[in-house]
Structure 1
Amino acid sequence: MAGGRSSIPGHAEPVISASFSPDGCSLASGSGDKTVRFWDVSTETPQHTCTGHRHWVLCIAWSPDCRLLASGCKSGEVRLWEPGQSRLLASSSKDGDVRVWDAQLQRCLRVLTGHRQSVTCLAGAAPTSSTAASQDRSVRVWAATDGAMCRALQGHGHWVNTLALSTDYSCGRAYDPASGDVGHLADKRTDDEKLAAAKKRYATLLASSGGEERLVSGSDDFTMFLWNPVKGTKPLARMTGHQQLINDVRFSPDARLIASASFDKSIRLWEGKTGKFVAALRGHVQAVYMVAWSADSRLLVSGSADSTLKVWSMRSRKLQLDLPGHADEVFAVDWSPDGQRVVSGGKDKLLRIWRR
């Protein structure tokens, strides 16, 4: 990140979410100004401003093929932008339901029920199941084939805020750190070939993890649980050490580590297979809101209420770079698939691009 930084104005209210497209060519952001904006990564200039939401845009998500972006706002609407070949989209709500949509037909295919309070988050799309966490203190798993609920994972003493699957990165990114292939949509591969490549990445990561997908959940009760969401309801590990609520959890792209961010101003690292504590990363002076991994799993970036980003080395388990520059709290961070850029968005209404 020592190569420079730039500031991108445009939003009229705080930037709440920001995410690079899986191919690394585009950047999207959602804001309290009720808009979704698309930006050209190479020129760092605006491409489109999408209006229509009636309240703050709280979250955005790219389809793996980059042809669709979904955004959700505080009024309960989910909107789709740049429609293409992607078909399925899952959304969650305060009504306690998870809905699966046909994105092309804009039609609800299935309603996944069982939660008794607001659904706070969804895990990344797995081939065999869908997973959601709720303020009812449970995590629920449904079969992808027919929507039948497989199991309820219980044990947390308060709201479950965040989920992550060990295969998230293979499902949601087109970048292969081994070959350097970013998988641009401009390449000559057919859709079937791209799907086959994605399935191969998933299978490779699953094999390196012992053939079993793992799920981690973080809660307002200051704890995390590590689960095998397919096999049973008993957690593999209960992960303790944070002193305040947990905002964000992320498996590293190689699934060897888990990073957790908390209101206690720290980031903690855990073994991806066992949930065993590895290290605490300290340096932020206020709550840590979000973390993001580099594609090679060697670096981690964090964004905080203290208005800074910090880059941490996994080799030394220490702070590598301090990135001040925002004038207020940093709500969103993401790392580009090629590892060359970090984006951050915050209460100061700005997006910032940090280059290596």
Structure 2
Amino acid sequence: MEVEAAAAGVAMEEERELSNRVMCQLKDSEGTPLGAPIFLPESAGPKELQQLVNKLLNNEEKMPYAFYVSDHELVVQLGSYLQKNKVSVEKVITIVYQPQAVFRIRPVTRCSSTIAGHMEAVLSVAFSPDGRQLASGSGDTTVRLWDLSTQTPLFTCKGHKNWVLSIAWSPDGKHLVSGSKAGELICWDPQTGKPSGNPLVGHKKWITGISWEPVHLSAPCRRFVSASKDGDARIWDVTLRKCVICLTGHTLAITCVKWGGDGIIYTGSQDCTIKMWETSQGKLIRELKGHGHWVNSLALSTEYVLRTGAFDHTGKQYSSPEEMKKVALERYNKMKGSAPERLVSGSDDFTMFLWEPAVSKHPKTRMTGHQQLVNHVYFSPDGLWIASASFDKSVKLWNGTTGNFVAAFRGHVGPVYQISWSADSRLLLSGSKDSTLKVWDIRTQKLKQDLPGHADEVFAVDWSPDGEKVASGGKDKVLKLWMG
């Protein structure tokens, strides 16, 4: 009798044990399963999952990971998460693991300096790839370079005859190019603030975008592409000081341009199309169609490593272009992994499309939810998220692999003009017509910091690649630097 009771007790205990376990399937962000589905105790949390994933991946160095169940981060024990979100344990729970940056960026909390100097609105700001220098372009026709150690003006670069609309650093940090409303481009030496040669002329209307050839494809950096309202994109060689290829085919203004990591140039236009060009002869490879109105903004999943080249948060400097090229290629390959480079486009039609342009001319998914035009789209540095800024006053967060909607960040009371990510992909910055900057926390999906201080609309924001500083500029003609 006792033996039977004991056996029944053991059986019940085993049943209880099993009922406290959940069948889970671990997958990476591309949807590739990590082994077979396994039973996990309900008491398992991020710490236990971290140990498990590192073990299953045979990581010699333990990597930090974040875990997601249907795009929501798991920050508690599995059981309480499933209970709170009423997730059925009848079927297999998919847990997506995503590697996190080993370093952490502190959120910016205060304005460290307000630098006057520009006589008109600041229209663009950009940190150099190593985060040591900052450039701004203004309606006063000048480009300014700022010394970040003293937070004072370094050089005022004069030469443009009209508003400076666009600026871009070469990924090796050796050149800065600016484009104006008159259509000319000037290449500057950041060490002296002097132009390296005459203005580059060819465009008939204003410059809408500039993008450099990635350093892992060519070092030292020589070529960049410019897009213009005249409907053409032009590839320039800064050593030869001339336009080497003209990309013609759009029927209306080109609004944005990106030079991809595989050597393909993407142009988005008011003719509702995105065109892909090869860069040896400038042949059109493919057209991406789907938008019902102007394409305003393009972003690549690899953009952060393309922009920073060989530079990372450690601040390492390089002695030769060859070394730079090698490190940049390693960083690019590691970032890209086995997945194709992804492209996201934002439009006046209120929608966005996610593309895998090397794979298909059809969009992977259509992303809807904004109530007004989408002004700016941007992938997080790790490629796992997409952020979008809209005239509907909201910033939205999407899954960077599937394009699924994740969260809406509300708080701005005017159109959001520009967004920028922290280097660790944990924080997002937005600048708005309402004169404020806001920092959003990706994990909690809430406002982390409200940064008032500008006297008028904020047109341009950038987070330095080393994560230390944020720069903003706008209608009040001042440049502000923000720190943690």
Partner of 2:86: none
2:334 to 204, 222, 228: 204
The CA deviation at 1:161 is 0.4
Aligned to 2:315: 182
TM-score normalised by L of structure 2: 0.70
Residue 331 (structure 1) shift: 0.2
1:355 aligns with 2:483: yes
Q: Does 1:169 align with 2:304?
A: yes
**CA positional deviation for 1:215:** 0.3
The match for 1:230 is 358
Q: How do residues 273-352 of structure 1 correspond to structure 2 at under 5 angstroms?
A: 273-352=401-480
d(CA) in 1 for partners of 2:110 and 2:436? 17
Normalized against structure 1, the TM-score is what? Answer: 0.95
Match of 1:78 among 185, 191, 204: 185
Any conservation in 1 of the 2:310–2:324 contact (CA below 8 Å)?
no
Amino acid across the alignment from 2:224: L
Q: How far does residue 342 in structure 1 lie from its aligned partner after superposition?
A: 0.3
CA distance in 1, matches of 2:135, 2:447: 28
Kindly state the Cα deviation for residue 228 of structure 1 after the two structures are TM-superposed.
1.0
Compared with structure 1, are the counterparts of its residues 130 and 174 closer, same or farther at alpha carbon in structure 2 (3 Å cutoff)? closer
Question: 1:196 Cα deviation (Å)?
Answer: 0.6
Structure with the greater alpha carbon radius of gyration: 2
Q: Which of 201, 220, 238 is equivalent to 1:103?
A: 238
Matches for 1:123-272 after TM superposition, within 5 Å: 123-174=258-309, 180-184=313-317, 187=318, 189-207=319-337, 210-272=338-400
Q: Any conservation in 2 of the 1:134–1:160 contact (CA below 8 Å)?
A: yes
- Report the Cα distance in structure 1 between the residues aligned to 2:262 and 2:236, rounded to whole angstroms: 16
SS at structure 2 position matched to 1:43: coil
User: Deviation digits for residues 176-195 of structure 1, max 9, x if unmatched?
Assistant: 66xx42333xx4x3210111
The residue number in structure 2 matching 1:25 is 132
Structure 1 unmatched ranges of 5 or more? none
Deviations 1:295-328 (A, max 9, x none): 0001000000000000001110100000000000
Same amino acid, percent of matched pairs: 55
1:70·1:79 contact (CA, 8 Å) conserved in 2? yes
Is 1:213–1:228's contact at 8 Å kept on the other side of the alignment? yes
For 1:204 and 1:43, locate their aligned partners in 2 and report how far apart those are by CA, in whole Å: 35
Q: Give secondary structure in 2 for the equivalent of 1:155.
A: coil
Runs of 5+ consecutive residues of structure 2 not aligned to the other structure: 1-107, 190-195, 197-218
Larger strand proportion of the pair: 1
- Write the distance in 2 (CA, Å) between the matches of 1:136 and 1:40: 41
1:50 corresponding residue in structure 2: 157
Please give the alpha-carbon distance, in whole angstroms, between the structure 2 residues aligned to 1:212 and 1:32: 39
Q: Is the 8 A contact 1:37 1:49 kept in 2?
A: yes
**Count of aligned positions:** 349
Contact 2:114 2:480 (C-alpha < 8 Å) held by counterparts:
yes
2:258 partner letter: A
Shift of 1:4: 4.4
What is the distance in 2 between the residues matched to 1:128 and 1:90?
Answer: 12
RMSD, aligned α-carbons: 1.4
Asked if structure 2 preserves the Cα contact closer than 8 Å seen for 1:127 and 1:144, the reply is: no
Letter in 1 for 2:390: S
Distance change >3 Å, CA 183–CA 174, structure 1 → 2:
farther
Query: SS where residue 123 of structure 1 aligns?
Result: strand
Of 9-18 and 88-97, deviating more is 88-97
Residues 1:93 and 2:228 are matched in the alignment: yes
- Which residue in 2 is equivalent to 1:36? 143
Residue 12, structure 1, aligned to residue 140, structure 2: no
The higher relative CO (CA closer than 8 Å, separation ≥ 6) is in 1
8 Å contact kept, 1:182–1:337? no
Of 84-93 and 270-279, the range deviating more from structure 2: 84-93
Q: Note if contact 2:134-2:147 (Cα within 8 Å) is conserved in structure 1.
A: yes
Give the structure 1 partner of residue 109 of structure 2: 2
Task: Specify which of 168, 173, 177 is matched with residue 61 of structure 1.
Answer: 168
Output one character per residue of 1:53-109: Cα deviation in whole Å (capped at 9) or x when no partner: 111101100000111011111111111111594200101112211110101221111
Answer whether contact 2:225 2:259 (CA < 8 A) is retained: no
Deviation per CA, 1:4-35: give whole Å up to 9, x if none: 42100000000000010001110000000000
* Bigger mean CA deviation after superposition, 77-86 or 113-122: 77-86
- Tell me the distance in 2 between the aligned counterparts of 1:220 and 1:78: 27
- Checking the alignment, whether the CA contact within 8 Å between 1:15 and 1:350 is kept in structure 2 is yes
